[in-house]
A and B are shown apart, each in its own frame.
Chain A
């Protein structure tokens, strides 16, 4: 009798647990998302910016083109922005189009061009640690010192005239070499809010240009991208017409 009772209990438990199963049905919606990287640099600038030095005071104090270039960034990925000076002739030097004289040297360094960006590079912590005391962006104001050259604003260039990204001790406009903290998070000038008391956000930069030949015209503010060696000429610049160009490059942080 006891065995029968145990059997009944087991069967009962099985029936009871089977009865707990509930009818169900399901339908799946699989969402496939294709996140394509989008980097947009909107630039507002004249095709050509002219600096004409025809007065002594212009050689001494230089010529500044304020707000000549306006840069607006939209990016879906973390990004860096840099400027690189280039020419098509001798690497590291302006291209001479016309010579007005036979005297002097035509080897004007690309770094004779100075840039000033409105707003500080928002992210170069690692670069600053690796290169203490070095100017890592173009936010320093143009100096008016006549006697002592100050090289904070010399434009970056590559010795092979390429547009390779600057190294850790070189200047970026925003972000920097390195992927730990030296980048600006994705976003857009359309939605970003300015912070830190500046009128532009981290996605909007206005660039001023200056060329200051000095007397004699040696371009003493010109500095090599290594931030240590002066590019100032040893012989005065040959009078003439010279050209070079600046590329602004927006790239995913690296």
Chain B
């Protein structure tokens, strides 16, 4: 079984697949650059994790607060901000129902959204970076298994 980070990232990418504006163009921890035909798109990463040991004993439990980033990329010369806002609305709506993995609730809270416009190419590129806080718990010796 994969690490809980992978399970959470995959579950969220699956949940975001098929949204009206971005469709199937949802990428997980992708390395290679995006081409024109792959836009507008969503990219999903877990960039950081803060871990606190909350119980002592033979099997300590770790609380993991993950920083999940969903980036929306759009290339267009008009209505970039409106398109990014539309994508953000679709993502926020898709993320609203409580995420449950293997019967364990995994709360996700939107913390920040940053909008940027980049003008280095022949089309303007719009970027919306949505940062979510996700709380999960595992036993110290079983990072693949979520615990309630």
Partners in one complex: no
